[in-house]
Structure 1
Amino acid sequence: MPLSRFGRTLLNWLLVGPLIAGLLTAPTTPADTWTVEAPAGGPVATVHLDAQGSPSVAVSRGGATVLNPSPLGVTTEQADLTTGLSLTGRSSRAVVEKYSTTAGKRLHRLSVMKETRFRFTRGDSELDLVVRAARDGVAYRYELPGAGAVLGEASAFAVPAGSTAWLARHRADYENPFIQYADVPPAEYQMPTLFGVGQNYLLLAESALNGAYTGPRLVRDQDTYRIALWDARVPYDHGLATPWRVMVTGDLATVTESTLVDDLAPGSRVADTSWIKPGKVLWSWLADGRSAQQSLKRQKEFVDYASQHRWPYVLVDAGWYDDPDTGERAWTDRTPEFTWMPELVEYGKARGVGIMAWLRFSDFDTHDKRVQRFGLLRQWGVQGVKLDFIDSEAQERLQWYDETLRDLADNHLMVNFHGSSVPKGINRTWPHVMTMEGVHGAEKSSNLTTSHLAALPYTRNQIGSMDYTPMAFQRAGRPTSDAHELALSVVFESGLANLAGSLEAYRARPEAERFLDQVPTVWDETRLLSGRPADHTVMARRSGDRWFIGAGVSGAARTLQVPVGFLPGRWLVEVTRDGAGGLVREAHVVRGSTLAVEVGAEGGFAAIACRWRPGLTTCAR
């Protein structure tokens, strides 16, 4: 596997790793302040224990402050571990991991971090603070021994004054829009969230959340963003490792391209991933609504279209298992008596199209129900499920995720979570999680703006696959031009790309069909070429030897100067953009420098780049 851009620096760092580890465990001055440094050019975490025994962490990069000293610690039923602490141990190590994923910004990853463990005590109580620093950020978590219950955290983020913020108000399903603030009002906000701090950006996120703990929200409180927990009491029996509190930092490209949230998550719990196959999904809900989900005839038409265009999946949404006599949803042991799902699965299989099915999570709230019902879906040949209306990050609901993911894997069912949390390294641990909603997406009929869309690549979609459901060309109220909407197939990343257009809307846009038939949903490499949160995005993603570029702007028409110097030699770039009569395609032969593309108000473009050779006129295959 080829190393990424920091490969040479990384090699040098690994060679001197033992020396660095020795220095970090040596005495420092002053005795109550310690640093954890990332590989060369990365951020520095500074841990401080004040005179009252209260710990804090600050983050800097290149000598510039990214995060002011921010409080640390937890309160348990046994002890207040936010103050009165003493340092009784400290050790350091390098953490180097190579792993692969089934979805995301790139399939093959190399993670290199410096880790320092600080052991604090207060009386008979212990608290380990584990801090990691990587070239693209800093993270920490707490570890507690034995049994007990967490009652709260002191954890907060003291973002420097004057920072620009891109925040979304907190709600259970993470479906509020991201808004740019110069002065953030007191409120509760969701993670992730992004700040512009001087020349750096700072993304606050979380990794490795599971049923051992509970979900967070950020409370704007004077000069900090304080972590508040979903549950007032979080019990644990055999020790506890909390989720990682993640601070991704660097220039905007570093933050956007970072996989630190995944890097911190536990490794895969699924040994055989050969059955996990990402791809495009033809989704009919926004096109035809519930009536289409209840019609075998109509779903066969969607299968026919998917087969013609070689899209691998069709998703049948809410309503397919409604009782035809009463109209009420009915998942019972008699479901096979009236559903046509097995017939549709066989129809799709004969045409090379897999079927996925929407389900209400509450119909799968026990292990016995999951064993019976997931087993039945597998018996029919369903390839994956969309589980909806989860709407909680309480510890009990997170335990449901853990148990459900095991049962799904046992039945070789991919999953798309809706009305859900957001990905926090979940795809690395459970690689059959292809995407999650947790976004103010295309289903919203109001308050959907291009400024929100231009914030998503740097916020919600930064942390993992996002089921925004683009391509609803038929919706008159959408804020995007046709070319901007088409570009979202590249700008937004999702292992299962649920595309929401009507068959009629696709057929009326042959250039959109041509592009969508080629664009993949998994990537070997991702680069941010140009961007500004809430203003515009130009994203490039590589699949094999071709690059796909998507661009969208918020606001006025402009000329986008697209850097193409990352393409070595001469390349053919096919650009699909808005024309006077609809989408048009133009071919450009480029060599280094930039490519100028005119875009209209709220517009954009989608492009494919391939190596040029004499006589080559198209990148299509």
Structure 2
Amino acid sequence: MRRASPGSRHPFLPAWTVLVLGFLLALGPLAPPGHAADGGEGAGGGWTVRQPGKAHDGVSAVVRLDPADGTVTLAARRGATTVLEPAPVGLVTRTADLTSGLRLLSRGTRRVTEHYTMTTGKRLRRTVRATEARFSFTGAGGTRLDLLVRVSHDGVAHRYVLPARGEVTVVREASAFRPPAAARAWLSSYTPNYERTFAPADAANAPDGSYAYPALFRVGGTYALLTESDVDGRYDGSHLVHRQGTAEYTVALADASVTSTGPLATPWRTAVIGDLATVTESTLVDDLAPPSRVADTSWIRPGKVAWSWLAGFGAAQRSLATQERFVDYSAAHGWPYTLVDDGWKTTDWMPRLIDYARARGVGVLLWVHYTDLDTAAERAELLPRVKKWGAAGLKIDFMDSDSQERFAWYDDILRDTAREELLVNFHGATLPKGIQRTWPQVMTMEAVYGAEQGNVPAADLATLPYTRNAVGSMDYTPMGFQFGTRTVSDAAELALSVVYESGFQNFAGSVAAYRDRPELERFLEQVPTVWDASRLLSGEPGQEATFARRRDGRWFLGSVGAGPAGQRRVPLSFLGGGKWLLEVVRDGDDGLVRERHVLTRHDTLRVPVHEHGGFAALVCRAAPGRDTCDRPVSRLPLTTLTVSPGRADVDAGASIGVDARFAVEDAGPAQDVTVTLRTPDGWSVAGDPARADRVGTGGELAGHWTVRVPPDAAEGGRDLVVTTKYRAGAQVLTVERTVRAYVSPPGVDHVGDLPFVSESNGWGPVERDMSNGETAAGDGGPLTLRGTVHDKGLGVHAESEVVVDLDGAYRRFTAAVGVDDEVAGKGSVVFEVLGDGRTLATTPVLTSADAARALDVDVSGVRRLTLRVTDGGDGVDSDHADWGDARLLS
């Protein structure tokens, strides 16, 4: 971990410094009373604030003070079009109602010009030019309220400043947005994790309810995207509340009240305004946010991520071999990261995986639950620990709140992850509100009805570029071809790697799904995750979105649509002069195909698309002899090492045959290859290591050994370790796989080795010698009770029942029972043992906090044994119960 040397700039600025600077910037230089707000007096005693350099045809805001009741309204225009009609501003504190009875003290303007650089986003280098007006009012009891209004070419924003020092409690804002009643709207019902689809409506006729940011409205050819910016622990998040029949959308705070120490500047109530290109290319939300608090960003590296959750769920996260497979895939295709999701914390191999990935140039990202980090003590323990392991960053999940308390936690976790130089992906999170400018280690945020839902409508996919993704990086997790109900074509799915902006692109496919689509693999090797420029080329919300994004001299095109098959026509006027090579990946009759065109900026690209289809394209300067825009990618061989059997039950004195197969699937060759077997002390091996000077792509090297177990071997599990060592270029790499051998003593039979008369299980099949699986197909992890792993036993999910015939052949049944560690903090169960229908033993309710309970039951004469698990009654559907080391003694 890098630290600032003595006398160097500290890696991030103190919170009080940023707050003070932000407040002073918000106030700006005061103009004397009577100074026009960059436009002068308007009709009815109003003041117009205009974007810089535009007299009448640009974006403007109109502030009006009603002299009769002292209320203030704000409206927004684009040229002659009223985009937002006059709507109330003001707020109510615990001591003063500042929504009426206001009197103007002074007003003034300043020009805002800023230049800053992002680590993520639709454009890395940003320039801000805006006009900011400050209106100072006095209200009840002489309380002062300042209204700041900022106008730029891409929108209007306003916030309140309460200049007085001391504690202040805000109980309500009068803030509202009022589009014209007939405006078309695209709205998403509000939930604190923002995981709802968008639906079209009319502004006035939308149903009663709460709606999330961002909310999109169309007035003629002009759009307004409503959201907020610069929210932190000084305040809370908000959403919109609408009553059907009116066009007013009122700002509602997440909390009943918000308490801070003044002077207090509230979040910016923000409207991105313009045509669709302006909305999708706008950086207004980031422009309004405080500057970066991380001085040295050299450690921050966005990139593509192999994410295995939709290719195996929790079982895949608990499997070292599976996670190594995804690391290998990343290394073979130049992806810089892999993400291990929920489940890894029940294992002990994470440092090994990180070392394995580091040797291959791949960073490992780790999923954690919000509650793992919600206290200072937890952060002080976990963050340095995962950093010491070498983790590149964290995916933090399940915040599920817009409260002030949660935003204060965001302040803490962002400060602490910056100190530890850990990248961050927030899931179950709030919407981006400028956070990626202030804390540039935030690579992406979920806040979307994403691919993990398994059934995202094509119309929603074509709405998100104009709504959710327009305000910040969006972790949609595309490419999950093996999961859910597909709603768009393969080419349209590939296009999402361009259409959707995200500093981390967590690609959700299985390795098999990628390998079945070689043109997709090739395109994903080339596509970046950050951009120098972004252009909307064509589209309409809910119908189609076609984008061009540039990085390092190449353009990437992506197009996704919802509708019938046809031809998509794309103007190329965004290109410079001369000839350009376009490599288009589209849907063919038998999969994805790549087509090459040489065109100019005066041409129109025409691409046939399937129903709910699209395309992706890579564009570079045409040159004699150039037939591709691809650039070299750092690749290591994609290899597999398989061993058989994966586990074996063996008697002392017996033998086990072990087979191993090392194969190179892609990006070969592997050189100087050896495959060896290591056994426990005292176990003998017949067979030699396998060796090859070279194993090319499509080739393999096999080994076979016979392992003899000592006659006096003690009962229990042992590891037989197969190791492959090979060279790839200058790197020497190692892969290991394990055969788990379990030595059984005489006179003992394990229930998991016997045939079942019948079985039932609450989710998936009953698992033999592993925990309950995460899918209907099973595939659980090790049977683990309070840190102790049991080689043998049954993994079930309540309600469950297993029946076996004993025919009176056994004396005792023993087991260690409890809730499996994989559902730590959840689940409650009761275990019952029945013999011939008669209850022989039962446990009290056991939870994941309880130690394993030992059972020792007399089954003498029992002909049919029933092992039953019932729910403990807590209503939590996470009852993964283990019959650890369930055995019968004769």
Give the one of 220, 228, 240 matched to 2:264: 240
1:354 alignment counterpart: 363
Instruction: Please state whether the residue corresponding to 2:453 is helix, strand or coil.
Output: coil
2:64 alignment counterpart: 48
Give the one of 190, 201, 213 matched to 1:181: 201
Larger Rg: 2
Distance of aligned partners of 1:27 and 1:195 in 2 relative to their CA distance in 1, 3 Å threshold: closer
Shift of 1:319: 0.2
Mean CA deviation greater in 403-412 or 40-49: 40-49
Aligned mates of 1:30, 1:589 — CA distance in 2? 56
Aligned mates of 2:467, 2:484 — CA distance in 1? 27
Q: Normalized per residue, which structure has more strand?
A: 2
Shift of 1:245: 0.6
Aligned mates of 1:24, 1:118 — CA distance in 2? 9
CA contact (8 A) 1:192 1:204 kept: yes
Instruction: Please state whether the residue corresponding to 2:618 is helix, strand or coil.
Output: strand
The two structures have a TM-score, normalised by structure 2, of 0.65
Residues 1:83 and 2:93 aligned together: no
Instruction: Please state whether the residue corresponding to 1:24 is helix, strand or coil.
Output: coil
Shift of 1:23: 4.5
Aligned mates of 1:268, 1:370 — CA distance in 2? 22
2:131 alignment counterpart: 114
1:245-293 Cα deviation digits (max 9, x unpaired): 1111111101110000000000000011111000000000001111110
1:71-118 Cα deviation digits (max 9, x unpaired): 100000111000000000111100100000000001000000000000
Output aligned runs, 1:311-460, within 5 Å.
311-322=335-346, 339-446=348-455, 448-460=456-468
The two structures have a TM-score, normalised by structure 1, of 0.93
Unaligned runs of 5+ in 1: 1-17, 323-337
2:836 alignment counterpart: none
Instruction: Please state whether the residue corresponding to 1:485 is helix, strand or coil.
Output: helix
Output aligned runs, 1:112-151, within 5 Å.
112-122=129-139, 123-144=141-162, 145-146=164-165, 147-151=167-171
Aligned mates of 1:277, 1:27 — CA distance in 2? 47
Distance of aligned partners of 1:29 and 1:489 in 2 relative to their CA distance in 1, 3 Å threshold: closer
CA contact (8 A) 1:42 1:137 kept: no
1:613 alignment counterpart: 623
1:182-228 Cα deviation digits (max 9, x unpaired): 33111110011101111101100110011111111111132200111
Residues 1:277 and 2:301 aligned together: yes
Aligned mates of 1:483, 1:251 — CA distance in 2? 27
Aligned mates of 2:453, 2:585 — CA distance in 1? 26
1:157 alignment counterpart: 177
Aligned mates of 1:544, 1:35 — CA distance in 2? 41
Paired residue type of 1:437: E
CA contact (8 A) 1:42 1:136 kept: no
CA contact (8 A) 2:160 2:266 kept: yes
Instruction: Please state whether the residue corresponding to 1:423 is helix, strand or coil.
Output: coil
1:232-255 Cα deviation digits (max 9, x unpaired): 110111321110011111111011
Instruction: Please state whether the residue corresponding to 2:526 is helix, strand or coil.
Output: coil
Aligned mates of 1:23, 1:544 — CA distance in 2? 44
Instruction: Please state whether the residue corresponding to 1:321 is helix, strand or coil.
Output: helix
CA contact (8 A) 1:451 1:535 kept: yes
Shift of 1:161: 1.4
Residues 1:102 and 2:134 aligned together: no
Mean CA deviation greater in 381-390 or 22-31: 22-31
1:406-437 Cα deviation digits (max 9, x unpaired): 00001000000000001010000000000000
Moved beyond 6 Å, runs of 4+: none
Shift of 1:445: 2.7
Instruction: Please state whether the residue corresponding to 2:356 is helix, strand or coil.
Output: helix
Q: Percent identity, aligned pairs only?
A: 53
Paired residue type of 2:92: T
1:578 alignment counterpart: 587
1:4 alignment counterpart: none
Aligned mates of 2:429, 2:221 — CA distance in 1? 34
CA contact (8 A) 2:44 2:64 kept: no
Aligned mates of 1:450, 1:386 — CA distance in 2? 27
CA contact (8 A) 1:97 1:112 kept: yes
Aligned mates of 1:423, 1:29 — CA distance in 2? 35
2:240 alignment counterpart: 218
Instruction: Please state whether the residue corresponding to 2:115 is helix, strand or coil.
Output: strand
Unaligned runs of 5+ in 2: 1-30, 632-890
Shift of 1:571: 0.4
Shift of 1:32: 3.0
Q: Work out the number of aligned pairs and report it.
A: 586
Shift of 1:371: 1.4
Aligned mates of 2:100, 2:527 — CA distance in 1? 54
Instruction: Please state whether the residue corresponding to 1:274 is helix, strand or coil.
Output: coil
